[in-house]
Amino acid sequence: MSFWENNRILITGGTGFLGQHLVKKIQSLGAKTLFAPSSLDYDLVDNRQVIKMYEKFYPQTVIHLAALVGGIGANRANPGKFLYDNLMMGVQAIEQARLHNVEKFVAVGTICSYPKFTPVPFKEKDLWNGYPEETNAPYGLAKKMLLVQCQAYRAQYNFNSIYLLPVNLYGPGDNFNPKTSHVIPALIRKCLEAKRNNDKYITVWGTGNATREFLYVEDCAEAICLAAEKYNSPEPVNIGSFMEISIKDLIHLIAELTEFKGEIKWDTTKPDGQPRRCLDTTKAEKEFGFKASTPFKEGLKKSIDWYLKNYTA
């Protein structure tokens, strides 16, 4: 409790999907001085606004969540913007944190940084053993450079920064915009809209053979808090649930939970993305005691319920 009570905390991206859950979690831990500005308040691609943000809040701890994100379609349509915006936001946030004497910087990366053909389960030591999957490589590499920066700043400036690698997140408050959403909210929306419209089928990208691991968003917020409190080393740490499910099995599970009884068609002209994703999460448990606790089916039900309450118009 004392870590949070006596700390001036800045969360970039604090109004986003993960950010909103993290803010609630940190407030529950007793934080008295917590800042979570939105992109409307500060455009972190602009270094002048990054400086302005630091000079207004003078934080002791920074948790950097701010990112431009999206599914395979959004990454394919905007590779240049996804690279530039994410790189600039992160590089400038870390540099200004150093210049403004921030005591601890928590950089939240992405599983998209891993090589396309990483042995399963993904271990942190394999992070540099190949090139990321092509459809999201610009985004993954931009976020990966923040790990290099954190390690370089620790070596040269004794800057206390850590780097976390969360797997695909899902849960209440997710992005259900079909143009930019990730796979779980996209499939939930497809099933519920098809059910409402009495459609006989839905179309899903790819073959369904690719696998993914998913982490409930509140579990991820807990992991970030534990790492911020207890972890102070330069090596990256995976944050996940240590589960793996194929997209084919995922859509059948979502169809069952949403009671969509139509046909599922596969558009094999569209990419699968990375063939497999599943993290080795033993390091997080060893270093700061994190282990995911939300059963996948329970988390999906909560996500579906949230969508029905907030998005059905």
Which has the closest alpha carbon to 276: 122, 110, 108, 73?
122
Q: Are 273 and 207 in contact (CB under 8 A)?
A: no
What is the identity of the amino acid at 240? G
- Residues with catalytic roles: 139
255, burial (CB in 10 Å: exposed 0-12, middle 13-18, buried 19+): buried
Where do the H-state alpha helices sit in the chain?
2-5, 17-28, 47-57, 72-77, 79-99, 137-157, 183-196, 217-230, 247-258, 282-288, 296-310
Nearest CA to 301 out of 181, 193, 216, 196 is that of 216
Query: Which residues, listed in sequence order, are joined to residue 215 by a DSSP beta bridge?
Result: 169
Two tokens at 19? 């950010």
Task: Identify the residue whose tokens are 């859950």.
Answer: 21
Output phi, psi for 92, to 5 deg. -75, -35
CA-to-CA dists, residue 265 to 19, 80, 206, 251, angstroms: 35, 31, 10, 11
- As given in the structure block, the two tokens for residue 84 are 């530039």
Quick count: other Cβ atoms within 10 Å of Cβ 119? 11
